[in-house]
């Protein structure tokens, strides 16, 4: 089965590489020390420190494997690939919420680097998916659990 392509901006690639390096060089060493210390307490069958450290180790190793797979399948979206005529991955889009008469700005990114708190939304999210391929002036309806949101695209930039 073909592995899913992971779309990343150069900034997103850097963040994932930094997280991977931190996990490999710092967190692995820290958890190994915790395991060694817990073993020194004896009787592993009733040693909660040992169990906690082993669980953390498993989580870290799983995250390392996930990051390595993502980086192996990464396709970097370069800024010069981003067209400002239509919304695409890498676009920063200024929208007007027609219900609340408010403006909001989102950057469309791949799901691996989505961060709604930083106004980076995934191309797979309802809003991201609805915006892709649209032009300035378009009105977009987005179906969400609470109903339908309506946005007008005011600006598209890189």
Tell me the average pLDDT across 37-48: 85
Task: Assess whether pLDDT exceeds 80 at residue 138.
Answer: yes
**Domain shared by 72 and 98, yes or no:** no
**Domain shared by 92 and 148, yes or no:** yes
**Domain shared by 112 and 138, yes or no:** yes
Domain that residue 129 falls in: 81-157
66-124 pLDDT tens trace: 999 999 999 998 888 887 899 999 999 999 999 999 999 999 999 999 999 999 999 99
Number of domain units in the chain: 2
**Domain shared by 89 and 128, yes or no:** yes
CA distances from 49 to 24, 45, 117, 140 (A): 21, 11, 34, 53
| CB half-sphere exposure, 141, CA atoms < 13 A | 3
Which of 59, 76, 93 is a domain's end point?
76
CATH number of the CATH domain containing 16: 1.10.287.180
- The answer to the question of residue 91 being in a domain is yes
Q: Are 9 and 77 in contact (CB under 8 A)?
A: yes
Task: Assess whether pLDDT exceeds 70 at residue 1.
Answer: no
Task: Assess whether pLDDT exceeds 90 at residue 28.
Answer: yes
- The answer to the question of residue 1 being in a domain is no
Q: Are 86 and 156 in contact (CB under 8 A)?
A: yes
pLDDT at 158: 86
Which of 76, 97, 123 is a domain's end point?
76
Distance CA 103, CA 93 (A): 10
Which of 54, 76, 98 is a domain's end point?
76
């Amino acid at each position: 089965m073909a592995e899913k392509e992971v779309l990343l901006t150069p900034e997103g690639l850097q963040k994932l590489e930094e997280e991977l390096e931190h996990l490999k060089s710092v967190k692995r060493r820290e958890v190994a020390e915790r395991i060694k210390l817990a073993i020194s307490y004896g009787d592993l069958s009733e040693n909660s420190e040992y169990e906690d450290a082993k669980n953390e180790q498993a989580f870290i190793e799983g995250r390392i494997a996930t990051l390595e797979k993502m980086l192996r399948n990464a396709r970097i979206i370069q800024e010069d690939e981003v067209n400002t005529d239509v919304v695409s991955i890498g676009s920063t889009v200024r929208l007007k919420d027609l219900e609340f008469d408010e403006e909001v700005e989102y950057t469309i990114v791949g799901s691996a680097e989505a961060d709604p708190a930083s106004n980076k939304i995934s191309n797979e999210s309802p809003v991201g998916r609805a915006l892709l391929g649209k032009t300035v002036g378009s009105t977009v309806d987005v179906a969400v659990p609470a109903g339908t949101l309506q946005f007008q695209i005011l600006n598209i930039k890189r």
